[in-house]
């Protein structure tokens, strides 16, 4: 039986025309209610709204049973299209993850969004997205929660620590820049002008003797970091995870909330990551490399937030008992490490960056001495990455036994350790540059089966040792 999705689905059709037709009409009516400009676009808006209503009336979903090889297979179908109809079929057995999204706007209308993913999904869009009744979806979620046999809940302090270690000023400034740009286009230049003036504290800082350029950079960095921190904190607040017979259940979020069910076959690998700050605090975060997760920009498939070693051992043994032992020292597993002579390969990048910043500082000191203190901020980045690369050189390794591969290396500003079942490994890529061909070293990339093409890069290993390591069954 074909059912209609929630009526708020109509927004999917209207949203593409909202800022082009509907919002300018509302602005014009509020500014000059009886002008010709205000009502001139009304027929176009009504036509678009009518087409969106007809498109909504033509869509529907349902579940049908198909007999194949003496077995009954449940298939979820979705049909849409006013002039050109499209059908999408998704066998229930192929669903690897279920993602529920709730936000204040959908709450007002009693709706929630559900996204279903299968191995056939791509990196940006789920296999099927529906907007249904919130009551029905949350009733299903509560029924699933009753089957949980083990539960993990992140404390608020740990979530704050994790969000602080993840946040960086660049991502926060990028986000606030986009928001201010869009707000200025919608509400006019008065809003952005007022905001920029409120942030500008140059005159006060000049009175204190602080160079204006240095002060401006300081304000920008502080504001960017704060915005990035708040985004991460609101995304992962009230984080809980549970293990049930159906898979791993994850609940998180303060304003925009999400509920996710990951089947066991959706999990391709389990990883533990540490930033330099978390390493000093002896804390780690656990990630799942899965099908149908992390599609949103900046999103991460988190399982545990800033856990210490005792918590890590206990909860991992409950969630994924086959992978848990590999995160701790193993005597029986075959392991290789980068040779001691490879230390320069790990440190060459930060050394060059440090030298470039030093040269820039000397130039400013000679010709633009007033702005030279501004360059001192830049020394933090190569020093941080230098410390991270030293840590990566000391801890990188690659190990394998009959069933699993363990990889430890660095990615961006974090150290990672990943446990990969050999059945999840899709390809192994070995690369050598001309210098590595002479030294006999190489880089190796381990690619696993997710729609985002997740890979683990390991650097500066001996090629002969790598060839002796059994990475495939």
**What does the DSSP assignment read for 33-53?**
TTSHHHHHTHHHHHHHHHHHH
pLDDT at 175: 46
pLDDT at 70: 72
Round to whole Å and give the CA distance between 374 and 211: 9
**To which residue do tokens 């286009």 refer?**
185
**To which residue do tokens 């890069």 refer?**
457
Round to whole Å and give the CA distance between 209 and 215: 10
pLDDT at 406: 92
**What does the DSSP assignment read for 397-454?**
EEEE-SSEEEEEEEETTEEEEEEEEGGGEEEEEEE--HHHHHHTEEEEEEEESSTT--
CA-closest candidate to residue 240, choices 165, 302, 325, 163: 302
**Ramachandran quadrant class, 412 (left: phi over 0; alpha: psi -120 to 50; beta: rest):** left
**To which residue do tokens 């993990």 refer?**
152
pTM: 0.78
What dihedral angle (degrees, nearest 10) is formed by the CA atoms of 167, 168, 173, 179?
-20
- Token pair for 56: 């909504």
Cα-to-chain-centroid distance, residue 179: 19
CA-closest candidate to residue 407, choices 375, 369, 372, 455: 455
Round to whole Å and give the CA distance between 442 and 15: 49
Cα-to-chain-centroid distance, residue 320: 22
Q: Measured at the alpha carbon of residue 360, what is the angle toward residues 359 and 364, in degrees to the nearest 5?
A: 120
pLDDT at 298: 46
Beta bridge partners of 335: 399
Round to whole Å and give the CA distance between 310 and 364: 50
pLDDT at 34: 63
Non-local (6+) Cβ contacts of 166 within 8 A are 228, 232, 275
Non-local (6+) Cβ contacts of 194 within 8 A are none
- Token pair for 341: 């002579």
- Token pair for 456: 């683990």
Q: Is 327 exposed, middle or buried (0-12, 13-18, 19+ CB in 10 A)?
A: buried
| Range 337-343, long-range pairs (CB < 8 A, 24+ positions) | 337/396, 337/397, 337/398, 337/461, 338/393, 338/396, 338/441, 338/459, 338/460, 338/461, 338/462, 339/441, 339/460, 339/462, 341/439, 342/393, 342/441, 342/460, 343/393
Coarse DSSP helix, strand, coil percentages of the chain, rounded to the nearest 5 percent: 50, 30, 25
pLDDT at 331: 58
Q: How many CB atoms lie within 10 A of CB 114?
A: 19
Question: Do 429 and 442 touch, CB atoms closer than 8 A?
Answer: no
pLDDT at 139: 94
335 phi and psi angles, rounded to 5 deg? -135, 140
What dihedral angle (degrees, nearest 10) is formed by the CA atoms of 258, 264, 266, 272?
80
Residues in the chain: 473
Q: Is 237 exposed, middle or buried (0-12, 13-18, 19+ CB in 10 A)?
A: middle
End-to-end CA distance of the chain: 46
pLDDT tens, residue order, the chain (473 aa) = 788 899 888 888 777 666 556 666 666 666 666 666 666 666 767 777 788 888 888 889 988 887 777 777 888 888 888 778 888 888 888 888 889 999 998 999 999 999 888 877 666 778 888 999 999 999 999 999 999 999 999 888 888 887 777 666 554 444 454 444 444 444 444 444 544 454 444 444 444 444 555 556 566 667 777 777 888 888 888 999 999 998 899 999 988 999 999 888 888 899 999 888 888 888 888 988 887 654 454 455 788 888 888 999 999 999 998 888 888 866 577 889 999 988 988 999 899 999 998 998 888 888 877 667 777 778 888 898 899 999 999 999 999 888 889 999 998 888 999 999 988 888 888 999 888 888 889 999 998 866 566 788 999 999 898 888 877 76
- Token pair for 185: 């286009």
Question: Do 176 and 224 touch, CB atoms closer than 8 A?
Answer: yes
């Amino acid at each position: 039986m074909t059912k209609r999705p929630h009526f708020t689905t109509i927004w999917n059709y209207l949203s593409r025309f909202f800022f082009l037709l509907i919002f300018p009409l509302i602005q014009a009516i509020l500014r000059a209610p009886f002008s010709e400009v205000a009502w001139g676009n009304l027929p176009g808006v009504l036509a678009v709204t009518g087409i969106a209503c007809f498109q909504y009336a033509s869509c529907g979903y349902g579940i049908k049973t198909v007999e194949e090889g003496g077995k009954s297979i449940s298939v979820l179908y979705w049909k849409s299209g006013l002039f050109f109809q499209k059908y999408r079929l998704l066998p229930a057995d192929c669903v690897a993850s279920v993602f529920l999204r709730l936000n204040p706007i959908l709450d007002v209308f009693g709706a929630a969004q559900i996204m279903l993913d299968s191995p056939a999904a791509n990196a940006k869009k789920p296999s099927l997205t529906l907007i249904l009744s919130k009551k029905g979806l949350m009733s299903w979620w509560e029924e699933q929660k009753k089957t949980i046999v083990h539960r993990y809940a992140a404390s608020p302090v740990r979530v704050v620590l994790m969000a602080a270690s993840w946040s960086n000023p660049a991502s926060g400034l990028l986000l606030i820049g986009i928001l201010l740009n869009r707000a200025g286009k919608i509400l006019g230049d008065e809003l952005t002008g007022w905001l920029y003036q409120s942030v500008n504290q140059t005159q006060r800082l000049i009175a204190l003797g602080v160079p204006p350029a240095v002060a401006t950079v300081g304000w920008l960095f502080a504001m960017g970091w704060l915005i990035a921190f708040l985004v991460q904190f609101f995304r992962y607040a009230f984080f809980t995870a549970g293990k049930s017979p159906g898979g791993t259940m994850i609940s998180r979020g303060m304003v925009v909330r999400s509920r996710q069910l990951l089947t066991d076959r959706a999990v391709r690998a389990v990883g533990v990551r540490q930033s330099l700050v978390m390493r000093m605090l002896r804390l780690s975060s656990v990630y799942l490399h899965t099908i149908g997760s992390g599609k949103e920009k900046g999103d991460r498939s988190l399982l545990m937030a800033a856990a210490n070693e005792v918590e890590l051992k206990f909860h991992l043994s409950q969630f994924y008992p086959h992978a848990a032992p590999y995160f701790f020292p193993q005597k029986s597993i075959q392991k290789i490490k980068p040779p001691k002579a490879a230390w320069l390969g790990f440190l060459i990048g930060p050394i060059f960056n440090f030298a470039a910043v030093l040269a820039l500082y000397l130039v400013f000191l000679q010709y633009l001495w007033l702005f030279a203190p501004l360059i001192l901020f830049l020394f933090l980045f190569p020093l941080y990455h230098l410390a991270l690369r030293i840590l990566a050189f000391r801890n990188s390794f690659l190990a394998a036994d009959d069933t699993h591969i363990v990889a430890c290396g660095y990615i961006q500003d974090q150290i990672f350790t990943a446990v990969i079942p050999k059945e999840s490994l899709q390809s192994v890529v070995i690369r050598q540059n001309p210098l590595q061909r002479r030294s006999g070293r190489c880089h190796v990339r381990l690619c696993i089966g997710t729609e985002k093409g997740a890979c683990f890069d390991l650097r500066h290993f001996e090629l002969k040792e790598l060839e002796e390591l059994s990475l495939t069954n």
